[in-house]
Structure formats: C-alpha cells, structure tokens
Chain A
Amino acid sequence: MKPRFLLMIFVGALVASCSWGPGSNMDETRDQILTIARKADAVDFSKFSSYAITDSITVVKDGFKARLSNDTTDLIIAEVVRNMNANGYTQVDADGNPDLLVDLAYIQKANTYMYPGYWNDWDWWWNYNYYPWFGWGSYYPYQTWFITSYTTGSLVIEVADVVNVATEQNVPVVWHGLVREILNGRHTQQELLEAVNEVFTILPPK
C-alpha cells in the first residue's frame, strides 16, 4: 500500500471521527436552563408578611410592552404564588394593603440590550388606583452587574417593597428572579414550572 494513500486514510479518519471544535454536548434541554436570583442587601425580609401578585404578565418586545394573560401565564403565576406562600407570605388582593408586590415580565423578543428595569411596568399597578402616591418606576438597591442582559424568552419575577417606599419615589425591587431563555418554544411546560420553582429555591425571598 502506498504511504500517501494510507496517510490520506489516516488523516481522513482522524478528522471525521472528531468534532474538532468548541462544539457542545449540552443537548438536553435541562442543560439550557439558567436561573438567577438576586436579593437586595441589608433588607429585613422578616418585616414583610403579605403580598399581592398580578394576574397578568408584562410582555416586552424591544421597546414595546403589553400585558398578557393566558393558560401558561396562569400556570406561572400559580407557581409563583405557591412559592411565595411556601416562604411564609400571605397572598392578599392589591387593595388589601400588601407589604410586597410581585410582578412578572416575559421578554418576547430582545434585539437590543435589556437590563433590569428596562420596561418599568410598575405603573401598571396604577390601574388598581391603590398606589397613587408612588413614582412608579422601579429601582434596584443592589448591583445588577451579574445579570448582563435579558434575552428572548426570559422570564423575570420581581418582588418590590411597598411598605418602605416614600411618596413619589420609585418602588425598590428587593428580590429579583430570572429564568433565562425559558419561553422560547424549546422547553416543556414541566421544565418551565420546575425552573420557576428553582429560582425561588436557590435564593428564597426571605
């Protein structure tokens, strides 16, 4: 056998048998779930006992935002409620003088850089007419450096303190949960709910 021929076979087999690149063996969809929870520094969660939660989710599509309510959002909200209750909080109506407000957002499409507070939908609570004295933006009494950006399909859960907010001030977000790239059609409903549960488990809002 000619050496050149053998060499060609050898090199061919070498190249064909390997992926030879960065590649990825993160094929399981579970591997593609990233949850991040961030808690404000020096906040005494023990002074909070009740919360109110939205019945819809803010949908953010670049600069555009709207409220969305369907079977999936109902399931997500129910999972959040279950976790808030498990952490010792009592759910009350928005007009029941809650200590905390829980709001959720879903990034349907992100072509631009999005960061915590990008859409500022807290003024949606204005519809209840119960909190007319707030500034209705949000602010984050902690560094958000770790959450680099939100991407398409991300689900954001924010818990704001409405006890310690002064008139005309933006509400302080004291707990921030992010499930990155979950609502992108690649994950099952079970994975979605597990991820929502996970974000509360890794660092509970308490």
Chain B
Amino acid sequence: MKRILFILAISLCCAGVARAQYYGNNIRQIYSINWQPNIPVGDSRDFVSKMSFEGINANWAYFVTDNIAVGFDLSYNNYHEKVGQKIYRPDANTAVNAAQYRYTQAFPIKVQGKYFFNQFGTVMPYAGLGIGALSAGQHIVIQDIDVWDNNWGFLLSPEIGVLVPIGIAGDTGIWGANITAGYNWSTNKSDVGKIKADNRQSFYFNIGLYLALF
C-alpha cells in the first residue's frame, strides 16, 4: 500500500512539474480578446438603466515574475435605452412631450496588474487591479436633436478571472477561454438633459479567448 501511495505521489509530482514546464513559468505574455457585457450601477443607471450587450475588450499582460503580470486593457461599451413618450417641464410655462433615445459610449483604458494564483496549474485563476481613465460620450436624442456631453474620469477597476486552456498553439504557446468579472468605477461627472451623475459605475464580464505565448 505504501509503495502504491509513493508511486502515486511521485507520479502527481512529475505531472505537476511537467505542467509547470509546459504552461507555467514559460508563459511570458498573454493576449486576450473578449466580448464584454456591462451592467450599469449607481448614477449610471439614471441615464441608461439597461444592461449593455455591446462591448468589446482587448487585453495584454506581460509576466514580470512567475505570478505577477502587468499590461494594458482597452474596452468599448455601448449602452442604449429608449425612454417612451413622457412630459418634461423645463420651466413652469413650457411643456415638452417626446420619446428619448439615450446612449452612452464608454471607453475604459487602463494599465493593469494581475496576480495568478495557480500559474503552474492547468486552470489559472487570477485577480487584477486596473488604473486608468474612462471617456464617456452621453447622448439624448429626440428626433434630430442631440443633447450630449463628453466627459473623462479617473478609473479604478478590480477584477477576478480565470484562464482555461483548450489547446496548444504550435510551439509558441497555448490558447483557451478567458472569463472575467470586474467592476469599473470612474470619477466622470455629467449633466445631460438635467440628469446628473457624480461618477460612473458598472459591473463588467469578459468572455473570450486568450493566447499565452512562451
């Protein structure tokens, strides 16, 4: 029995080393491209409350140690919502009845640090923190009238995610699926059509593919 356990332990150990050599500290950089749905939170919900399914994300991470990678993260999100016919009173002697089409185009740009918890394993969970800027263009469209505001803010975004390898990319690396959940908080202040916001917040999800290069 002891012999069996010993062989099993040695085998597992070897397997671990093999994986380590294959995936682990050989990975130098990771590229990923993702679909990025967003759920607006807080003040952002006052402008467009609906979840955005139109989002794309590109990410690059470079390993500076076995577990820590730094890189860039770029996203584009389009939020939109129709607000049906409603009476607005800009002042006591004016009434306006109109349906509005509201949309926000957001561009979060950030430098990012990621910590990989299990870099020598097959599945690589990670936690990251991004710091950067967020540009948001917010529009209220009524017929051909477009009331808009463009604002920038300081962006902070923690995230957690996991890389799940699927296959070998020749001699150059491995590829697989990337799943991330994160939170964007930025200092964008806006006042469009009397809808005020002191900041922008959203939960985002990255669902996509990555390519890890040795």
Chain A residues with Cβ below 8 Å from B139 are: 22
Chain B residues with Cβ below 8 Å from A203 are: 93-95
Q: How far is the CB of B55 from chain A (nearest CB, A)?
A: 8
B80-88, B125-133, B182-190: which lies at the interface:
B80-88
Q: How far is the CB of B204 from chain A (nearest CB, A)?
A: 15
Chain B residues with Cβ below 8 Å from A38 are: 93-94
Beta-carbon contacts under 8 Å, B143-181 to A: 143-145, 167, 169, 175
Instruction: Judge whether A64 is part of the interface by a CB distance below 8 angstroms.
Output: no
Chain B residues with Cβ below 8 Å from A142 are: 93
Asked whether A39 and B93 contact (CB < 8 A) given A3-B167, A20-B78, the answer is yes
Instruction: Judge whether B39 is part of the interface by a CB distance below 8 angstroms.
Output: no
Asked whether A202 and B95 contact (CB < 8 A) given A6-B209, A23-B103, A34-B142, the answer is yes
| Docked-complex contact A11 and B33, CB < 8 angstroms | yes
Q: How far is the CB of B162 from chain A (nearest CB, A)?
A: 18
Chain B residues with Cβ below 8 Å from A32 are: 99, 143
Pick the contact of A3 from B90, B103, B145, B211 — CB < 8 Å? B211
Beta-carbon contacts under 8 Å, A22-50 to B: 22-26, 30-41
Tell me, in angstroms, the Cα distance from A34 to B84 when the chains sit together. 11
Q: How far is the CB of B60 from chain A (nearest CB, A)?
A: 15
Chain B residues with Cβ below 8 Å from A22 are: 78, 80, 103, 105, 139, 141
| Docked-complex contact A146 and B94, CB < 8 angstroms | yes
| Docked-complex contact A19 and B54, CB < 8 angstroms | yes
Q: How far is the CB of B158 from chain A (nearest CB, A)?
A: 25
| Docked-complex contact B82 and A25, CB < 8 angstroms | yes
Asked whether A146 and B82 contact (CB < 8 A) given A23-B103, A26-B101, A34-B143, the answer is no
| Docked-complex contact B33 and A10, CB < 8 angstroms | yes
| Docked-complex contact B82 and A26, CB < 8 angstroms | yes
Chain A residues with Cβ below 8 Å from B95 are: 36-37, 202-203
Instruction: Judge whether B1 is part of the interface by a CB distance below 8 angstroms.
Output: no
Chain B residues with Cβ below 8 Å from A3 are: 167, 169, 175, 209, 211
| Docked-complex contact A21 and B82, CB < 8 angstroms | no
Instruction: Judge whether B74 is part of the interface by a CB distance below 8 angstroms.
Output: no
| Docked-complex contact A35 and B101, CB < 8 angstroms | no
- Least CB separation from A142: chain B residue: B93
Instruction: Judge whether B98 is part of the interface by a CB distance below 8 angstroms.
Output: yes
Chain A residues with Cβ below 8 Å from B142 are: 34
| Docked-complex contact B209 and A31, CB < 8 angstroms | no
| Docked-complex contact A198 and B97, CB < 8 angstroms | yes
A residues sitting closer than 8 Å to B (CB atoms) are 1, 3, 6-7, 10-11, 14, 18-26, 30-41, 142, 146, 148, 151, 180-181, 198-199, 202-203
**28 CB-based A-B contacts, threshold 8 Å:** A3-B175, A6-B175, A14-B35, A18-B78, A19-B54, A20-B54, A22-B78, A23-B80, A23-B103, A24-B141, A26-B99, A30-B85, A32-B99, A33-B99, A34-B96, A34-B97, A34-B142, A34-B145, A35-B96, A35-B98, A36-B94, A36-B97, A37-B94, A37-B95, A40-B93, A146-B96, A202-B95, A203-B95
Apart from A10-B209, A26-B141, A38-B94, 20 more pairs, CB < 8 Å: A7-B211, A11-B33, A19-B78, A23-B80, A25-B101, A26-B101, A31-B82, A31-B84, A32-B143, A33-B97, A33-B98, A34-B96, A34-B97, A35-B96, A36-B97, A38-B93, A39-B93, A181-B143, A202-B95, A203-B94
B residues sitting closer than 8 Å to A (CB atoms) are 33, 35, 53-54, 56, 78, 80, 82, 84-85, 87, 90, 93-99, 101, 103, 105, 139, 141-145, 167, 169, 175, 208-209, 211
